[in-house]
Amino acid sequence: MPFKLFDYQQRLVDETRQKLAEGNQGVLIVSPPGSGKSVIIAEIARLTVAKGGQVMFFVHRQELVNQITQSFQKQDVDLMHCTIMTVGKIVNRLGKLPRPNLIICDESQHSRAKSYLKIFDFYRDVPRLGFTGSPWRMNGKGFDDIYSAMVEGQNVTWLIQHHHLAPYKYYSIKLVDDSKLKKSSTGDYTNNSIDDAIGKTIFGDVVKTYREKVPGQQAIVYAHDIEHSKATASAFCAAGIKAVHADAKTPKAKRDQIMHDFKNGNIKVLCNVDLISEGFDVPDCSVVIMLRPTESLVLDIQQSMRCMRYKPNKVATIIDHVANYTRFGLPDTLRQWSLEGRPKKKRQNNTKSIPVKTCPNCFAVVPTQCRVCPQCGNEIKYDADGMEIDETASIEKVGEFKLTTDYSEIQTARKKPEDAQSYKELLEIAKARGYKAGWAYVQAKRLKMVN
């Protein structure tokens, strides 16, 4: 029996099919990491094949091909009417494969690559669907010449509130000298400049932070190069915490065993270089440790949210040692996606350019709309124009392990006393704001919840 989609997933399927029925040649579906894109892809493929169609699916990595094949099988898709391959294999077989009625492309932020465009051009009269969690390219180019319509799924905040993504805590330590970061021709930072900025002495801090905040939990570490990834794994092992390194050059058999051991919990910390980003599903991983500064919004979203796959009672933890939040905000920062390109501007590395701010009392990273810090209970005051008063905190003061965001506490702290349905809820609001229980009692009397 096919898997029954959640309502928000079914809506994406229905809206996408409607866009195709309206005559759009290409439709881009945007939904955050962890929202179940593979299930949506499989359902669309099932419906297409059920009507006698032939589906062509491609993506850039073999691991993702294997995963989508499994998703198709679970959704009862007849694989006899599907071509599922990597981009490279399809490019080398153009004209030799069964002609598709529908092309489906995953991780479509790569759609501008020459190999993708070659396939699209060869099958220019075949409708195409693209899937991505972030339609964004570092060079600012858009996708409106590839896809004529876009369908957006629910945002991260909604998915957390409705128990489709795990709530999270966000910690950050600024261990990077940004002045040393230099960009390559691709737009992201060079490995040599990251070496200079990070230095060789951070590994003890990484292990110490793990022990203080998430002892015993499974963690994925993202490093910028093999040397730093291996050194981090060695530092964990030296501290008695089972850790291993893996990268794209790790032999497949060994890599498969590492992934198997990590999923089974035999490995606590998995250190890698760009291996576990797109499409890697680790439901029981609750921690991400970011050691790679990046100018890529796509990479930041994929890596930071890798621990937010939903599981009952799970709270994800993101430990950002390189202050990437100062460039892109938090996982639930609202973003305006568009098929059109954007002007290429020099990014200013400060909190004014992103929808997060720093509590002037405890340096907690909180959403801009938060008026009470959920970490220390400090009231963040505003003037008549809505501007913060006495905002003394700045990125330059970040040097200790003080920056936190607890999503559930933020949601509770945002509530007004009038939103509470009981005295117990008022006590929860007081706790989230750092107030004493007496505040809740006064509010309860005012609202006539107690005598």
Task: Please give the structure tokens belonging to residue 15.
Answer: 């809206």
Q: Say whether pLDDT at 334 is over 80.
A: yes
- Quote the CA–CA distance of 227 and 284 in Å, as a whole number: 27
Residue 358 confidence class, pLDDT cut points 50, 70, 90: low
Residue 35 near residue 55, CB atoms below 8 Å: no
Tens of pLDDT, residues 223-267 = 988 888 998 999 999 999 999 998 878 888 898 899 889 988 999
Residues 425-438 have a mean pLDDT of 79
The answer to whether 280 and 64 have CB atoms below 8 angstroms apart is no
Give the model's pLDDT for residue 321: 86
Q: Supply the DSSP string of 334-387, one letter for each residue.
A: -----SS-----PPP-SGGGSSEEE-TTT--EEETT-SB-TTT--B--B-TTSP
Q: Tell me, what's the pLDDT at 263?
A: 87
pLDDT of 251: 87
**Alpha carbons 185 and 211: distance in angstroms, whole number:** 38
Q: What structural domains and CATH numbers belong to the chain?
A: 7-154 (3.40.50.300), 168-369+383-405 (3.40.50.300), 415-446 (no CATH)
Between these two residues, 158 and 196, which has the higher pLDDT value? 158
User: pLDDT at position 248, please?
Assistant: 77
Q: Residue range 401-409: average pLDDT?
A: 42
Token pair 């309502």 is at which residue? 7
CA-based nearest residue to 344, from 136, 189, 177, 111: 136
Q: Per-residue pLDDT for 332 more than 80?
A: yes
Residue 22 vs residue 392, higher pLDDT: 22
In percent, the amount of the chain with pLDDT more than 90 equals 44
State residue 406's pLDDT score.
46
Q: What is the pLDDT of residue 401?
A: 32
Highest-confidence segment of 180-194, 208-222, 315-329, 330-344: 208-222
Is residue 398 pLDDT above 60, yes or no?
no
pTM score of the predicted model = 0.77
Report how far residue 240's alpha carbon sits from residue 227's, in angstroms, rounded to the nearest whole number: 20
Residue 325: predicted pLDDT: 86
Query: In the prediction, which pLDDT does 78 show?
Result: 96
Q: What is the pLDDT of residues 206-233, one digit of tens each?
A: 898 899 889 999 999 999 888 889 989 9
Quote the tokens at residue 152.
Answer: 């957006």
Whether residue 286 has pLDDT greater than 50: yes
Task: Give 1-15 pLDDT, tens digit per residue.
Answer: 778 999 999 999 999
Backbone dihedral region for residue 114 (phi beyond 0: left; psi -120 to 50: alpha; all else: beta): alpha
Query: What's the whole-number mean pLDDT along residues 262-287?
Result: 79
Q: Which residue from 182, 174, 135 is spatially nearest to 26, judged by alpha carbons?
A: 135
Residue 10: predicted pLDDT? 97
- As to burial, measured by CB atoms within 10 angstroms (0-12 exposed, 13-18 middle, 19+ buried), residue 7 is exposed
State the pLDDT at residue 344: 62
Mean pLDDT of the chain: 82
Burial bucket for residue 47 (CB in 10 Å: 0-12, 13-18, 19+): middle
* Local confidence band at 396 (pLDDT 50, 70, 90 cut-offs): very low
Q: How far is CA 11 from CA 43, 44, 65, 105, in A?
A: 12, 12, 25, 19
Give CA–CA dist 175/172, Å, rounded: 9
What tens digit of pLDDT does each residue of 88-143 get?
A: 999 999 999 999 999 999 988 888 889 999 999 999 999 999 999 999 887 888 89
Query: Does residue 341 surpass a pLDDT of 90?
Result: no
pLDDT of residue 86: 93
pLDDT in tens, 17-71: 999 999 999 999 999 999 999 999 999 999 999 999 999 999 887 778 888 999 9
